[in-house]
Every structure is written in C-alpha cells, then in structure tokens.
A and B are shown apart, each in its own frame.
Chain A
Amino acid sequence: MAWFKNLQNTLKLNTEKKKGIPDGVWLKCKSCSEIIYRKELLKNSQVCPHCSYHFPLSADEWVDIMFDEGTFKEWDKHLQAADPLKFVDSEKYKDRLKRAQTKTGRADGVVTGSGQLNGHSVVIAIFDFGFMGGSLGSVSGEKILRAVEMAIEKRFPLIIISASGGARMQEGMFSLMQMAKTSAAIAKLGEHRLPYISILSNPTTGGVTASFASLGDINIAEPKALIALTGPRVIEKTIRETVPEGAQCAESLLKNGFIDKIVDRREMKKTISKLLEFFQE
C-alpha cells in the first residue's frame, strides 16, 4: 500500500489548496460580473454582496459555516474507492480518482462527522462537488450509512448537504445500489424518531435527488440551486424538449411542493438551529 502512503502525503500537502475560491485579492462574480473583494466574500458566507449569487462551497467551507468553531470531528476520512469494475473510459477510473484526490485533498467526495451547531450536537454528511462532481459511489454510500447508524447510536439529528451530479458511473451497479442503501438507512433513522434535515445545494441531480436528498423530514434548498432527477441538458438531448430557464431551480421546486423552504446561506445556520430546537426531545 505504498501508493496510499504517497496519497496521505499528498493529502497533507494539499490541505491549503482545498478552498474553492481562486487566489487573488479581487474576483469577479460569475452571475453579475461585479468585482468583489475576496475577504468580503469570505465574510459573507461566499454569497455575492451585489446579487446574492451563492458561490459553490467545498465540504470544508461548509464545516466552517455550519459548526461552532473547533467542534467538528471527521469520521472515516480514509475510506477510498476500490474500482470494482476496473473501469476505463477515455481515462482510467483510478487516474480520475487520483486527480480528484490531489485537487481536493480528500480521499473521496463526502465528508462525514459530528459537531456542535449553536450548541446542538448533530451528525452531518457533506458532498464536495469538486470531487468528481460529488458523484455517489460505494465510498460515499458507505460513509453516509455509517453516519446515519452513528446518529441512531448517539441519538443525534442528521443533516446531509448535497451537491452532486448523481450516481458515479465508473462503479456501475454498485453506485446505483447506494441509492437503496442510503435510503434504507434514512428509513431506519425515521423509525428511531430522529430528525433528518436535507439541504440541497447547487446542483443536486440524478441518483442523489432520487434518494436521500429528497427524503428529509425537512428539505431545504439554497436559492436558485438546480435540483432535478434529469437535468436540462439531458432532457434536451434525449427527448428534445426545450427546458425553460429556471424550470428546475429551487424556486420551481418550492412552487411544485417538493421542498419546505429556500434559505439564503447567510441564514442557514440560524434556520437549522431553530428547526433543531423544535425537534429537541
């Protein structure tokens, strides 16, 4: 397992690089093109102060926003994909994995653990879209399952923050089955009368939307997040139906009745904390 030792070194080396915001003092908002002072953006939970565009967050940045300082403990950090199909497309799955690991400083795309949110103990799972599009594979499925089982053991509420393109194709049917595995865990959590809050960030699509992300006791979306089973590009390509702008955004889902609330990221911690008080035993 020498290559794993190498990876561990890379992981250490890259912890400084893992933030999603590019370097530099100033940057341009992707949505309104206004120039923003980097420090100001960071203080603003990475929401554009001019147009409220929500910049994508890495899992670590979510941890900083959601948890009371220094309280978060990560679990199962070194679980890694096994490449059960020995999958190769234009590139080996193993190489894709290595590249994503180097880029994010993470062994795979989901971070799980527990910590304090305004003093409430919670279990959390957070998707890192930067790791192969936050795709759901055996590792993320197993980590979520273990997190749920830990929540049951400790009797803590569960929060999952999704950002995912769906099932990880490179793991074939193993990845599809993670939808069943995670949903079964959520069902079990419910039987133990423990609350589950699902936060859907941009984008949440495919198998993640069609499993645990839609199953929250409370489903919360970030403003304008794309949330879909089949995203607009695939709809247009497969059945040649034109998808109007915003048809699959959080606001439409709220109107159609599939999410409870849209919450601005700057209000997220406060809102979740309020909900947790309601759930308290």
Chain B
Amino acid sequence: MLKENMLTSSGVMMNRELDMAGTATRIDSVTETKAGSKGKSKKNRPEFIDKHTAWEIVQLARNPYRPFTLDYINLIMTDFVELHGDRGFRDDGAIVGGFANFNGEPVVVLGHQRGKTTEEKLRRNFGMSYPEGYRKALRLMKLAEKFQKPVFTFIDTPGAFPGLEAEGRGSAEAIANNLKEMSRLKTPIISVIIGEGGSGGALAIGVADRILMLENAIYSVISPEGCAAILWNDESKAAEAAKRLKISAGNLLNMGIVDEIVPEPEGGAHIDYERTAANLKRAFINNLTELKELSPYLLVEQRYEKFRRIGEYLEE
C-alpha cells in the first residue's frame, strides 16, 4: 500500500497532462468516424504509445484494488436501481445492471462485477458469467430499447465461466444471441473496458456504437496464459504472449478496434477512483451527445458499418 500511496502524489501532478492526451485521442477518433473513412485511413492517425509494457498493463488491468463496475456506477451516476435475473433460470451475480440517472437523464447500465472480499468474489464468480448473466444483460438492453434509453456497459471479466453446467445451459448460444441482438438494438450503446476484456464473455456485452477503453485495461481474444499454453505449451510465456497479442489500449486504438482511450491517473485507476471516474464521465457525455443526434435507423446502420469493416486481409 505504501508504494501505491507514493504513486498517488506523483499521480496527481501528472493528471492534467493525461487528461489532455485523452481528449486529443477522442477528437481523432471522432473526426475519423465523421469522415466515414474505411479501415485503412486510421493509419494516418498518430500512433498511441502505451506508457507501460504489455505485462505491466495486464497486472494493472487485473489489480484487485481497481474500481469495478459498481464503483463507477456510484461515482458517475445517481439513483441506481439494481434489477435482477434473466426471467428464465436465476440471477447471475457476475453481471450487475439496472436503471440509473446519468447527467440528468435516465439510462440503462450494466456490467461484469468482480468481487472485493473473498465472499463477494465467490458470489460473483470472479466476474465470470454463466449464460444467465448474458441473458439478464440482454433483457435489460431490450428494456432500454423499448423505452428509448441509452445503454452503458462496463466490461471487466476474465471470460465466460468455462464449466460444464454453463456449457449445458448454453453459454455459446447466450453469447451469440447477444452479439446478434446488440448489433440491431435501436438505442445508443456505449461500452467501456475497465479492466480485463476476456474474449467472448467480454464481447457478449460489447457490441456497441462506441467502444471506450481505460488506459490500463486489456481486451483479448484469449488470456495471455491460455495463448502461451496453446501456442508454446508453456504458461510461463504469458508475458511474451501478452505483448504479441497486442491487447493494450494503445495497440487496440491503433488497430481501430476501440474508439477512444480514457486516461487513468499515473500509476493506474486504483490510485484515484474519483479522477478516473471523472475522465470516464466526460467521455460518456461527449459520446452520448453525438450518438443522440442520430435516428435509430442511422444508429443501427452505422453500428453495422463499424463492425463490417473490422478485419485485415489481402485481396488480389
């Protein structure tokens, strides 16, 4: 803890600079969207350089003292009313969600929730959802669509729970169905990766109009450990895998996978909850203001186009 406290003092000093960097990143991404440019032109944007090595970022993203979904909800929204259950099987504690008031308007908010205490970690299954969690999330998003409220999703999970019960109740189907339904949801969706974005379990609540990412979050098709185990047959190569998989916010912004990086205080989000939340709130407001100008039809068409052009291939 001493180390963290020491970092705080320097973190405050650094923060203004970080905020400015964050704003600049955002403007770049917005300009690109408005120009309607194809994937290639993102190369014109100045490269975003990560401040830490890939493995350091993995550690920061998984830091147990980092703010979690409910922390952000409490810091940037008011009047949160949590809603439970998938109306089919049970309430999955690994995903939380409900109604809240954001910047003076009612919104639907949901996200993966890790636990802080041992008891809570177990109750929330370390943020690894069963299919019921994804179905609860979709139920809430459908409510948002029905009553024309914007949706905010917080991504923070090692992945979908890899157990036989979860498989038997249809993890794959639940994720697939969320991808399909989110792609056509007629209301603005803004997602943010706040910690670990673990593969399909993360994407299941991440098909959004804007995908934001905290500076020290990661988003990956497979965990660095899993990748190392499969490709090198050696889990100790995880740091190497983390680097090569290009899972940091900087890499993903440069690749055009995420739209904007939300700056964290020096040393990481856990050093100063309020400041991180304030940065995120500003990004939410800016993006939501832009999205609200679009008709539901245009919104869905632009979302389709956004995902349609992701991919790098050669054509002869």
Contacts and interface: CB of A to CB of B under 8 A. Distances in A.
A and B from one assembly?
A: yes
B180 A187 contact: yes
A80 interface: yes
Contacts of A190: 180
A183 B231 CA distance: 27
B313 A82 contact: yes
A158 to B, nearest CB: 14
Interface in A227-249: 227-230, 234-235, 237-239, 241, 243, 247-248
Interface string B157-177: 000101110111111110111
A210 interface: yes
B313 A175 contact: no
B307 interface: yes
B11 to A, nearest CB: 28
Contact of B171 (A79, A177, A210, A213): A210
A262 interface: no
A229 B255 contact: no
Contacts, number: 192
A89 B313 contact: no
A32 interface: no
B245 A184 contact: no
B167 A228 contact: yes
Interface string B232-263: 10000000010011110000100101000000
B172 A209 contact: yes
Given A80-B315, A169-B231, 11 more contacts: A138-B313, A167-B222, A173-B245, A173-B252, A176-B199, A179-B203, A180-B310, A181-B310, A183-B180, A183-B207, A258-B173
Contact of A191 (B184, B206, B241, B303): B184
A contact residues, range: 35 or more
B35 interface: no
B175 A188 contact: no
Contact of B221 (A78, A138, A169): A169
Chain B binding surface SS class: helix
B179 interface: yes
Contacts of B241: 89
A85 B245 CA distance: 7
Contacts of B257: 173-174, 177
B34 interface: no
B308 A88 contact: no
B108 interface: no
Nearest to A141: B311
B contact residues, range: 35 or more
A230 B127 CA distance: 17
Contact of B244 (A88, A227, A235): A88
A145 interface: yes
Contacts of B220: 172-173, 176
Interface string B106-141: 000000000000000000000000000000000000
Contacts of B72: none
Contacts of A78: 315-316
Contacts of B221: 167, 169, 171-173, 175-176, 207
A263 interface: no
Interface in B204-234: 204, 206-207, 219-222, 226-227, 229-232
Contact of B310 (A85, A177, A210): A177
A79 B180 CA distance: 25
Interface string A70-90: 000000101111101101111
Contacts of B252: 173
Contacts of A258: 170, 172-173
A159 B184 CA distance: 21
B283 to A, nearest CB: 20
A230 B162 contact: yes
B181 interface: yes
Nearest to A142: B311
B181 A187 contact: yes
A184 B308 CA distance: 8
Nearest to A243: B164
Contacts of A76: 315
A173 B311 contact: no
Interface in A148-181: 167, 169, 171-181
A183 B183 contact: yes
B2 interface: no
A252 interface: yes
B184 A172 contact: no
7 A-B pairs with the lowest CB-CB distances in the bound complex, closest first: A138-B311, A184-B183, A183-B179, A89-B231, A84-B312, A229-B172, A230-B162
A215 B244 contact: no
Interface-central residue, B160, B304, B316, by most chain A CB under 10 Å: B316
A100 to B, nearest CB: 15
Contacts of B172: 209-210, 213-214, 227-229, 258
B200 interface: yes
Contacts of A228: 167, 172
A215 B176 contact: yes
A229 to B, nearest CB: 4
B1 interface: no
A127 interface: no
A80 B173 contact: no
Contact of A85 (B246, B303, B314): B246
A187 B178 CA distance: 11
A156 B163 CA distance: 38
